[in-house]
Amino acid sequence: MEAVLFILFGAIAVCGAIMVVTRKSPMASALYLILTLFAVAALFVLRQAHFLAAVQVIVYAGAVVVLFVFVIMLINVPEDRLPVERATTTRVLGVLAAGIFILESAVLARRFWMQKGPAAEVGTVETVGRALFTDYLLAFEITSVLLLAAVIGAIALAKRKT
């Protein structure tokens, strides 16, 4: 059962990802990106990471992609003014580079042997919360500075100069 679901959602994620990078219109890419993000959230559920799956749907599909869609509609580039894509040779080289990377990772992943630890549930609210507010408290607090910097930076950049 788990294997069937893994293959199903893994295939949805990979197909959605391929569609994201191949569509001409950015809006179609954004919608396929949502599909991929939901499939990855389902994979998180499969690994008992319920909290992370919820955050994935809320933060990624709910906030990041909405921001993308908002900007796509805001700048609203007409169909005929979309960039002319790169030459076929460049694209083939890009696919080749990624293919080599994936093959290398596949070889490494086959050799990589993970030892089973004590607990399997690591992405639930309790485990993530406990780790976040004890061992990783400093990193968590610094995250707030990062978000503040991002907020101020985004406003300062996008503001119309008067």
Partner 1 sequence: MIAPSAYLLLSAILFGIGVVGVVARKNILIILMSVELMLNGVNVAFVAAGSYLGDPAGGVFAFMVMTVAAAEAAVGLALLIALYRLKETIDITELKVLKW
Chain residues 7-46 in contact with partner 1, contact rule CB under 8 A: 10, 13-14, 17-18, 20-21, 23, 26, 29-30, 33, 36-37, 40, 43-44
For partner 1, the closer CB: 84 or 162: 84
Contacts of 12 (CB under 8 A, 6+ apart): 35, 36, 39
6 binds partner 1 (CB under 8 A): yes
Q: Amino acid identity of 124?
A: T
In angstroms, rounded to a whole number, what is the distance separating the alpha carbons of residues 19 and 13? Answer: 10
Report the nearest approach of partner 1 to the CB of residue 34 (Å). Answer: 10
Report the nearest approach of partner 1 to the CB of residue 50 (Å). Answer: 10
**CA–CA distance from 13 to each of 32, 64, 153 (Å)?**
9, 17, 32
137 binds partner 1 (CB under 8 A): no
In angstroms, rounded to a whole number, what is the distance separating the alpha carbons of residues 76 and 44? Answer: 34
Helices vs strands, H then E, count in the chain? 7, 0
Torsion of CA 123, 124, 129, 134, to 10 degrees: -60
Report the nearest approach of partner 1 to the CB of residue 162 (Å). Answer: 13
Site for partner 1 in 77-136 (CB under 8 A): 77, 81-86, 90-91, 93-95, 97-99, 101-102, 105-106, 108-110, 112, 114-123, 127-128, 130-132, 135-136
Out of 63, 79, 138, 162, name the contact with partner 1 by CB under 8 A.
63
